Structure formats: structure tokens, C-alpha cells
Structure 1
Amino acid sequence: MTAIVQTRDLTRRYGATLALDHLTLEVPQGAIFGFIGPNGAGKTTTMRILTTLLTPSSGEAWVAGRSVLRDPLEVRKVVGFMPDFFGVYDNMKVWEYLDFFGRSYGVAPGRRSSMIGELLELVDLSHKRDDFVMGLSRGMKQRLSLARTMIHDPALLILDEPASGLDPRARIELRELLKELRALGKTVMISSHILTELAEMCTHIAIIERGKLLAAGDVQTILRSLQPHRTLEVRVLRGIGQAEALLRPRGDVLNLRREEIPAEAAPAEAVPAAAEQEAPPAEQPQTLLIDYTGDEAGMGELLAALIGGGVVVTRFAEQSSDLEDIFMQVTKGIVQ
């Protein structure tokens, strides 16, 4: 996959503080790229360098093949930047706000007018076209700011903490909008420490701490590298002992354990003796957790073996790690 962003040994110092430490990174074209790290990790510094707002102390970066050092004006034509703070001018209406930035980017008058309408429709703000910007809600301001980043039709959108301060509904709307932008062919680089938000939309991630890159790549590849085996969750209604006997000899099963049933899940009342004589008690479902090294085809064979052995299986699924698991595993919680 072609990289739209490349950095090589990117370094930035603020006095004695090393904000970026020889960062070498690639952002694939067409990706939703999550840039993850604690506060002070170097995320905003990286984004400001990529948008030509900050000069690196050393190293180099390219956006769409253009050098941020030698061709900053060309870089600005292909990048839309949404900072973490929404700055506006007083007494400016929504359409005027977009028109102002369109003029600043040199968008032709005819194209500018149509772009304003298209972008307001895209971010669902057409009904607010003639409202004053300062009267919008936080979520609407974020959507308007996103529209502003696209007024010159850039190939790359760089969004610094776009979900900060948004209520749950506004975050969901923003997430769906970013997915739609990717479907339109945009590459989105988004920084955040709200990992649950990124987990549902990112195709690739990079984790940074104290200016150093700790991990980067597509989400599934990173998960596989950090956890080389799968964890399968098998819910058994009947035949738990038979299931264990079938699974333990297999070479692709590293470990097998029963998941503990919480005490509160146990029946609260004893079954009367007379009732026990009338009907045998139903078996309680139990869950087996399997550390498994095989592939997808092997998982199918494993399930077939269980069913063929008379085990009643009501659930068979792979437990998936998430971005929080990755983040906690590779970072040390150090800030600078």
C-alpha cells in the first residue's frame, strides 16, 4: 500500500526537552490512522510538523511525496488540519466561515460556493448555514471545523483530538462521518487518547511515548505480534468433561481452562427433593477458554471434533484484544 505520509528520523527539541526522538513513520494512503499516546507523547508536535506549522530540529518528512521542509506550500495544498482547539471569528455565520477559508486557500468563487453547500450537507449542517458560528453546540463546531479542513479538497486530513469534549452522541456522529470520508477516498490521521473511539474505526495505528515510536502497523498485525496465539471461548451446555478430554491431547492447544462462574450466578434457592425426583436438574452451561495456535481452518476442525464427540456447544468464538490491551502492553505510562 502506498504511503501518503513518511517521516525519517524526525526529531524536535524544546530546549532541554526531547519531544520527538528520531521518529520514522509511514501512514498508508486510504487508511484511518490512529496516532495514540499519552499527553506529552509528541502527537501534536508530529502533526504540526506534517502540516508545516513547526520545523523539526532534524530529520525529514514527506506528505504525498512533497517535503515539508522544501515544499511547504505544496504540502498545505494536500493537507487539511483540524487542531484540538476550535478558533473562530466573532459575528461570522457558518457559510461565511467556510467562505473565508475557501478564499484563503484560493478556491475559485464558483467552486467555493458549491463546495460550501456540499460540505455543509456532508457534515449535516445545511440547516445551520445562516446561523452564527459562536451559537453552535460543541459537536456542531467540531463538524464545522472538519468541513473547513476539506474546503480545498485535500487528500489527507490530520485531526488532533477531534472527539475531545464531545458528548456520546456527537462522538458517534463524528465516527460515522470519518468512515464516510474514508469511503470518499480520504486518508485520515487522527490523534486521541480515547482508545475506545479509535478502536471502532481505525485500520492502522501507531503508538508513541516520550517521542519514541513503540509500535505501528495495521491493527490485526500488531495484535498478532503481541499475542501470537488465539484465545477461543467455547460455551458448553453438555459434555464439558468430554470436551476437555478431546482438546487436551491436541498439539495446537497450548492451555485449557474453565472460566469461573460468579457466585451470584448460582441458583439462589435449593431445589426441593421431590422436584429432583420428578425431573433431573438441567446442566449449567460452562465456558472453556482455549489458548490456540492454529489457523481458521483448524478452528473449524476443532469445532467439528467437539460436536462429533457429542459435546453440545452453544458458543464458539475468538476473543479479540482491543486498542486498550495493545496500549497497556507496549507503553510504560511515562510522560515528559
Structure 2
Amino acid sequence: MLELQDLCKKYGRHTVLDNMNLHIEKGQLFGLVGPNGAGKTTLIKIIAGLLELDYGSVLVDGKQTSTKERRSHTKIGYMPDYFGVYQNLKVYEYMDFYTQMYGYKGKEAKNKVEENLELVNLLSRKDEYVDDLSRGIKQRLCLARCLLSEPELLLLDEPTSGLDPRGRNDIRNILNILQGKGMTIIISSHILQDLSQMCSHIGIVDNGKMVTQGPVEDILQMEEQSKPLRIRFTEVNSSLLKYLGSHVLISNLTIDGTQTTMRFEGDSMEEAKLLTTLIQNGARICYFAREEGNLEKLFLRITKGE
């Protein structure tokens, strides 16, 4: 659905995007994470056609596009982290205004407004003034507006920023529904727990570069395999220590009473094989596990935060 090739953007001497490459298939819910100033918002605005790129190309649905084409592309929807609105508009009037801008008239326009308000659970609040809404409800309203053009690619810049847990949960549920309908979604966020729970794929941006990208499960598994393996025995003897110390996949072995900690270079299959071998040789084990992979810790490590 989206492919970026060697994307570059500079402001004076400062490089914001440095040969950025990205490939997103149709139907993916892609999480874009990175520290402040990493280039996430710039990247999203370039994809939306709101900023000119200095070098590179953007392909949407397999076709190379110009900035002007993306700005008016009906397949692309863009939701900023904060949106403005004309004063003294009610929720229904706000939606009706944009519905008519997209060319809907009469009963078709009415149905379109109600359909999208129903999707974000705001139909019952259609007569309330937008200015009186909480930030979380405004975010849901803005999302409903973005969906009026029936985009195939939805760009969301920090949609859960400043929301309480209930507001974030509402947005997460709506995005899961949209993904279930086949929509491709790119979401940038600093709330890494939300991204790990709802995204199918993630990309980590640092200093204008895409440091890593891929399925959430694969990236978290990579993180888990870098974690120490901890085993607690009921007792430790010399033959057991000799076996662990000579194992080709084990290094940095430390012993504290009946607990051992080690760097284990194998995958989950190798872990299972090690556990089986230990038990078959008479070892009594009451704990065998790695520290669980965590997107936040991975983010800190990759972006040199630790």
C-alpha cells in the first residue's frame, strides 16, 4: 500500500529524514515510534502531501506520486495530533460541513454523517458544541471526519496523546475495527504499550533513519533472545555446572546459590532442547525463563536511551 524509497528531508543544514525506506502492505496497522525530533511527524506530513520532500519517492498502491497528488489523494486520510475547528459548530454541523466538501448531498450526506458518528460512538452527541467536548471525544470526532473520504491509507499523528486510559482504549477499539475492514493504518505514538497491543507491525525511527521494522512478534522475539536466561534448581552439583559451562550456546554463566543466570544464544527451540536435556540428566528445575520482551526496553536500547 505504501513504499518509501530513499526519502530525504532537510531544514537548512539539519537532516530530518536521512534516506528513509519503508514498505507497508495493505491491511497492516503499522506503529511508528521514535524519540522527540526523530522525524515521525515530518514523515507523516510528507506521506500526506503536506510537506515537500527533498529527495526520494513515495509510492501509494504501487504508483509513484507527487506531493500535490498525495495532498488530494482520495485514498489517503490524515489526522493531526491536534485539530482546529470553526467556532460555534455542533458535532453534526462539523461533520456535515466536511461531508459536503467531499461532494455528498441530501440523504446521502445525512447517512454518511450518521454512519461515521456511529462508528466512533458519537451519534448520541451530535447536537453538542465541538468546543465543549473533551480532548478524547474531539479526537474521535476528528477520526470520524478523516473517514468521510473512505481512505484506504489512514495516517494518524499521535492520536492517543493526552488521552486517559478509557480514551486510548476507545481509539484502539475503533482502529481494530477499521483494520478488520481492510484499511491500512499508520499511527505514530509515544505510548509504546498501546502500539504493542494493537499494531501488527512497527518501525523504530531514530535520527531520521528507520532503525528497524517488521512484525511486532518478530521484533519482540529478537528482544527476548537478547535477555538473560535464568534457571533455578533445587540443588546445584559439579556435573551440572560442568555441563552448563561447556555448552556451546551458553556464556556469561553466573551462579547465586541454586539460581543460575546466563547468556543463551539459542532460539525458543534451542531453549526447549536445553530444558529437556537438563531434566533427562536428573536436574530438578523450579524456574526456567527469559525476561519477557518489552517494546519500551527495545525502544530505549535501539535509540541509545540505555
- Give TM class, smaller chain: 0.7 to 0.9
User: Does 1:94 pair with 2:91?
Assistant: yes
The answer to whether the Cα contact below 8 Å between 1:43 and 1:208 also exists between their aligned partners in 2 is yes
1:148 to 142, 145, 151: 145
Check 1:180–1:232 CA distance in 2 against 1; reply closer, same or farther (3 A cut).
farther
Select between 83-92 and 244-253 the one with higher mean Cα deviation.
Answer: 244-253
1:239 to 232, 235, 239: 235
Match in the other structure for 1:189: 186
| Residue of structure 1 equivalent to 2:291 | 319
Alignment: residue pair count? 304
Q: Aligned equivalents of 1:290 and 1:301: distance in 2?
A: 16
1:165 aligns with 2:162: yes
Answer yes or no: is 1:33 the counterpart of 2:15: no
**Structure 1 residues without counterparts, runs of 5 or longer:** 261-285
Residue 264 of structure 2 corresponds to residue 292 of structure 1 = yes
Cα separation, partners in 2 of 1:135 and 1:74, compared to 1, 3 Å:
closer
- The answer for the alignment partner of 2:274 in structure 1 is 302
Contact 1:230–1:293 (Cα < 8 Å) also in 2: no
Aligned to 1:177: 174
C-alpha distance in structure 2 between counterparts of 1:302 and 1:76, whole Å: 55
CA distance in 1, matches of 2:59, 2:155: 14
* Structure 1 Cα separation of the partners of residues 65 and 275 of structure 2: 54
User: SS of the residue aligned with 1:294?
Assistant: coil
Deviations 1:305-329 (A, max 9, x none): 3444454444443433322233222
Return closer, same or farther for 1:252/1:137 CA change in 2, 3 Å cut-off. Answer: same
CA deviation digits over 1:117-164, x for unaligned, max 9? 332232222321222211111111111111211122211111101111
Unaligned runs of 5+ in 2: none
Q: What is the CA RMSD across the aligned residues, in angstroms? A: 3.0
- Structure 1 residues 315, 31: closer, same or farther in 2, change over 3 A? farther
The CA distance in 1 between the partners of 2:299 and 2:162, in whole Å, is: 22
Relative distance call for 1:230 and 1:107 in structure 2 (3 A) is farther
Normalized against structure 1, the TM-score is what? 0.78
Taking structure 2 as the reference length, the TM-score comes to 0.85
Judging changes above 3 Å, is the alpha-carbon distance between structure 1 residues 315 and 22 closer, same or farther for their aligned structure 2 residues? same
Percent identical among aligned pairs is 39
Q: How is 1:74-93 mapped onto 2 (pairs within 5 angstroms)?
A: 76-93=73-90
Q: Which residue does the alignment assign to 1:330?
A: 302
Match of residue 271 from structure 1: none
Distance 1:220 1:291, change over 3 A: farther
Contact 2:16 2:207 in 1 (8 A): yes
> C-alpha separation between the residues in 1 aligned to 2:157 and 2:219?
23
Q: For 1:74 and 1:53, locate their aligned partners in 2 and report how far apart those are by CA, in whole Å.
A: 6
Q: Is the 8 A contact 1:30 1:187 kept in 2?
A: yes
Which protein is bigger by CA-based radius of gyration?
Answer: 1
Residue 110 of structure 1 and its aligned partner are, at CA, apart by 4.1
The one-letter code matched in structure 2 to 1:61 is V
Provide the rounded CA distance (Å) in 2 between the counterparts of 1:302 and 1:308: 10
Please give the per-residue CA displacement for 1:192-225, whole angstroms capped at 9, x wherever unaligned.
2332332222222222233233222233444566
The letter for the 2-side match of 1:14 is: Y
Whichever residue aligns with residue 250 of structure 1, its letter is: H
Using the TM superposition, give the Cα deviation of residue 84 of structure 1 relative to its aligned residue in structure 2, in angstroms: 1.0
